[in-house]
């Protein structure tokens, strides 16, 4: 087997780099970077509070008028299952022999940890856009589940959108609802149609960022360039830092992007967050594992949590 010193080096290095690994994963995904992350201790489910009624005891009154004692259920909760992920760094006895010098060993270990980071980043990024059915339902329930193309069907957080109309996100189909596929000339109007359905000045609620695939990001960017040409007469360039009504619009496509084609998500992160177990926040737990009948060691990095939502009505998707 690999020597205890080698195994300890792997474990210690992973523990020391835990925060850096987390930062690396988050920094390379616009959706993950901007969604609020909440560390939680545990529990049977991940719970997210829902306010689904106004408080009926509010009243205008005068002087000694009798005050209302009316009550009603105003709070419930959505419950989300824990989802777990792991990735490992392995070191075989042969690799230890082949990299006997300390500098060679550290270089090999660095390469293996870099590969592990990249894999974690790519898989978690894909999961955040998923519908939660991947890997036999063990994958994170992402935007295609919570901010669904068809919010009138399906169960999210234990609540059936077909039964409870308050538990439906806004979904706007460019062709069906807008009358034509999205183009640079009409995408701004389609975005307005989504925004006006989820913005609430009274409740102080607005999307705080928008994430789009390659095509919709490109179309919206082109629409801004066209507007600049009309207003300034110059073909001013619009960079990657673009906004809609002051809200940042991010590309989460690019090479190997995970945002579904022809989709743009309007995210209110006050009500949509990534809940992560403190003890499994991409942490190396339990040290090295030594196979009984193999010459080597394996050290795992674990993550556990899920994407949770407390108000689907403040989330929206433009799609085609």
Q: Is the pLDDT of residue 98 over 60?
A: yes
Average pLDDT, stretch 42-55?
A: 80
CATH number of 4-55+69-181+274-319: 3.30.2400
Gap between the terminal Cα atoms of the chain: 55
Mean pLDDT of the chain: 83
- Asked whether the predicted pLDDT for residue 215 surpasses 90, the reply is yes
For the record, the structure tokens of 122 come out as 């790519």
Residue entry with tokens 């990657």:
240
Query: Which ranges in 183-288 belong to alpha helices (H)?
Result: 187-198, 214-232
* Higher local confidence (pLDDT), 82 or 284: 82
Question: HEC states along 81-105?
Answer: CCEEEEEEEEEEHHHHHHCCCHHHH
Strand partners, 50: 76
C-alpha 136, offset from chain centre: 20
Q: And the tokens for 215?
A: 């095509």
Q: In this predicted structure, what is the pLDDT of residue 255?
A: 63
**Arithmetic mean of pLDDT, 98-123:** 79
> Any idea which of 66-75, 242-251, 287-296 has the lowest mean pLDDT?
66-75
Taking the C-alpha atoms of residue 139 and residue 84, their distance in angstroms, rounded to an integer, is 8
**Alpha carbon distances (Å) from 164 to 68, 203, 221, 313:** 28, 21, 37, 11
Per-residue confidence band for 26, with pLDDT thresholds at 50, 70 and 90: very low
The pLDDT of residue 250:
92
CB under 8 Å to 139, separation ≥6 — which residues? 83, 127, 130, 132, 133
d(CA 270, CA 199): 13
CA 99 → CA 90, 206, 298, distances in Å? 14, 55, 17
Share of the chain residues as helix, strand and coil, in percent rounded to the nearest 5: 35, 30, 35
Residue 32 is classified by DSSP as H
pLDDT computed for residue 180 by the predictor: 97
CA-angle at 100, arms to 97 and 105, nearest 5°: 105
Instruction: Give yes or no for residue 130 having a pLDDT over 50.
Output: yes
Please report which confidence band the pLDDT of residue 9 belongs to, taking 50, 70 and 90 as the band edges: low
| pLDDT recorded at residue 239 | 52
Model pTM above 0.85: no
Closest CA to 319 of 254, 244, 266, 250: 266
User: 234 pLDDT band (50/70/90 cuts)?
Assistant: very low
Q: Which of 127-131, 133-137, 237-241, 304-308 has the lowest mean pLDDT?
A: 237-241
When pLDDT is averaged across residues 263-286 and rounded to a whole number, the result is 88
């Amino acid at each position: 087997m690999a020597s205890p010193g080698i195994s300890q080096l792997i474990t210690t290095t992973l523990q020391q780099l835990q925060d850096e690994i987390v930062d690396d994963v988050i920094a390379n995904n616009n959706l993950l970077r901007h969604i609020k992350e909440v560390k939680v201790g545990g529990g049977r489910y991940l719970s997210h509070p829902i306010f689904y009624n106004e408080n009926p005891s509010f009243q205008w009154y005068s002087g000694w008028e009798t005050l209302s004692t009316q009550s009603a259920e105003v709070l419930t909760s959505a419950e989300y299952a824990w989802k777990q992920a792991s990735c490992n760094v392995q070191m075989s006895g042969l690799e230890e022999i082949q990299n006997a010098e300390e500098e060679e060993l550290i270089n090999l270990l660095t390469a293996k940890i870099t590969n592990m980071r990249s894999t974690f980043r790519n898989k978690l990024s894909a999961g955040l856009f998923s519908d939660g059915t991947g890997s036999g339902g063990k994958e994170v329930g992402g935007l295609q589940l919570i901010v669904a193309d068809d919010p009138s069907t399906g169960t999210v957080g234990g609540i059936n959108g077909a039964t409870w109309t308050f538990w439906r996100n806004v979904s706007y189909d460019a062709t069906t609802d807008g009358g034509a596929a999205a183009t640079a000339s009409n995408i701004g109007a389609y975005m307005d149609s989504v925004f006006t359905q989820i913005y609430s000045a009274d409740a102080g609620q607005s999307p705080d960022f928008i994430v789009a695939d390659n095509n919709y990001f490109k179309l919206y960017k082109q629409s801004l360039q066209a507007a600049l040409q009309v207003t300034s007469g110059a073909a001013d360039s619009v960079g990657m830092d673009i906004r809609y009504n002051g809200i940042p619009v991010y590309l989460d496509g690019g090479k190997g992007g995970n945002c579904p084609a022809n989709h743009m998500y309007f995210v209110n992160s006050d009500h949509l967050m990534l809940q992560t177990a403190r003890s499994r926040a991409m942490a190396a737990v339990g040290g090295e594992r030594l196979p009984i009948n193999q010459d080597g060691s394996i050290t795992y990095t674990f993550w556990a949590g899920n994407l949770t939502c407390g108000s689907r009505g403040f989330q929206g998707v433009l799609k085609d």
